[in-house]
Amino acid sequence: MTLTAPPPLLTRAGLADRGAARVTPPPRVVHMGAGAFHRTHQAWYTARAHDAAAWGIAAFTGRRPRVAEQLAAQDGLFTLVERGPQGDRFAVIDSIREAHPATAHDRFIALMTAAATAVVTLTVTEAGYHLDARGDLDLDDAAVASDVAALGAGDAAAGLQTPVARLTHALHLRHESGAGPLAVVSCDNIPDNGGTLQRAVAVFASACGWDAAPWRASFVATSVDRITPHTTAADLQLVADETGWSDEAAVVAEPFADWVLSGDFPAGRPAWEDSGARFVDAVEPYEQRKLLMLNGGHLALAFRGLLRGHATVAEAMTDPVCRDALERFWDEAARALDPVADPGAYRAALVERFHNARIAHRLGQIAVDTATKLRLRVVPVISAERAAGRDADASLAIVRDWARGIRTGVFGDPGDAGKLHEILLPGLHPADATLITAALDEPHDSKERPT
């Protein structure tokens, strides 16, 4: 019996041997949180810029080092599978110049204090900002407090726990070194992400005894959008079969991609507009459109869909009960949005995107860090509807589904059932808190028929 040799590992030397050599760009962008979304979004936009040869990315992971290990073994290369309704397209993305775990403190500081570094991007998830109920940095959070104490004791090299601490410390050292200005670009799904991060940095700096006001850093607000499901073993095998490369860092995404940015880049940036990125005076209408309609819509489908036994977004879209819950929530969310963002057209595009059954966007992947997501993606719709004199029933139904899912253990930890009010209510307007309390106490029947 003849055994077939496994395909070679995807590397820059391997590509060169096949006559497909890639330029190795110098690292001028530092990224924090090098997960799948960063690779399908910011790394993809950077690789497609006409000046990509001048803009390499130094990527640092978040809580786990595995992605850094995979990328480092492949010289930063990875395959992006664009999964459309009719088929797949494969592209090698070469914009990541180097990859490191979050614990690579010395390399992170060396890059952040280098004059050539012009941009810092972040995808650390909402929970990674450690915000309180008002959206401010929570200095009482155990990890944040630990980082303040570590810096006060001069122990930064021992390992800071939070992204805000690592970023603030690096910006402080950059200011001290006189390395020049740079842009900090949050790409996470939090309202006013640029302003929120800027305020968090200022608060953390003050807690450490530093004044962030003179630091030459701009904070850019963004709205990012590209559905990126979990990569499976079957996806990795498909990449090997179709490309002839073994690629443990491959990622899958829908064909759609959107990036809206507002802010200054004092030291330059890649030509992201080459792939459709838009630079606007105010990002808030687009940010809210995505946050409420896509991300909030995902919660509507995830909670109702998991309760009804579905596994993916596309599955839930075929269930009339789940689809009705989504459409009614979208009716409410659209009324809370600025017409300049054209929520009607965006909604129509979302229907097509959510129906793409070849994108296995798992509901369980969406239903994590749920309390934070509810506060950002659903509670604002409840507040807007109530302020307009309406009952916000569709939005409150999402809260009821969430409570039922926690209590029954369908998603989340059943042990959190007694903490639902504590998790969701602090900081809300009393009238909104009263309504949400009622929703938490009366879980919704997920088997109801569509209206």
**Residue-level pLDDT at 176:** 96
What CA–CA distance (Å, rounded) separates 169 from 147?
10
**Residue-level pLDDT at 418:** 62
Which class would CATH give 12-281?
A: alpha beta
The low-confidence residues of the chain, meaning pLDDT below 50, are: 1, 444, 446, 449-451
Contact call for residues 75 and 96 (beta carbons, < 8 A)? no
The token duo for 118 is 């012009």
Q: Which CATH superfamily is domain 285-441 in?
A: N-(1-d-carboxylethyl)-l-norvaline Dehydrogenase; domain 2 (1.10.1040.10)
Looking at the chain, which residues constitute the CATH 1.10.1040.10 domain(s)? Answer: 285-441
Work out the angle between the directed axes of helices 142-152 and 193-207 (0-180°, nearest 10): 50
221 HSE (CA, 13 A, CB side): 17
Output the CA torsion sign for 191, 197, 198, 204: positive
DSSP one-letter string for 68-120 = HHHHHHTTT-EEEEEE-SS-EEEEEE--EEEEE-TT-HHHHHHHHT-TT--EE
277-295 per-position pLDDT tens digit: 999 999 999 989 999 999 9
**Residue-level pLDDT at 444:** 47
**Residue-level pLDDT at 36:** 96
Looking at the chain, which residues constitute the CATH 3.40.50.720 domain(s)? Answer: 12-281
Rounded to two decimals, the pTM is 0.83
Instruction: Give the E-state strand segments of 123-216 in sequence order.
Output: 182-186
Contacts 24+ apart (CB under 8 A), 282-286: 283/194, 283/221, 283/222, 283/223, 284/191, 284/192, 284/221, 284/338, 285/337, 285/338, 285/340, 285/341, 286/223, 286/260, 286/341
**Residue-level pLDDT at 152:** 86
- Cβ contacts of 78 within 8 Å, gap of 6 or more: 10, 39, 70, 71, 92, 93, 96, 247, 249, 250, 251
The one-letter amino acid at 54? A
What CA–CA distance (Å, rounded) separates 406 from 383?
23
**Residue-level pLDDT at 412:** 65
Output the CA torsion sign for 387, 389, 391, 392: negative
- What does the H/E/C string look like for 350-396? HHHHHCCCCCCCEHHHHCCCHHHHHHHHCHHHHHHHHHCCCCCHHHH
**Residue-level pLDDT at 447:** 53
Question: Taking Cα atoms as reference points, which of 154, 190, 159 lies closest to residue 172?
Answer: 154
193-227 per-position pLDDT tens digit: 999 999 999 999 999 999 999 999 999 999 999 98
**Residue-level pLDDT at 451:** 44
Contact call for residues 83 and 356 (beta carbons, < 8 A)? yes
**Residue-level pLDDT at 331:** 98
**Residue-level pLDDT at 245:** 97
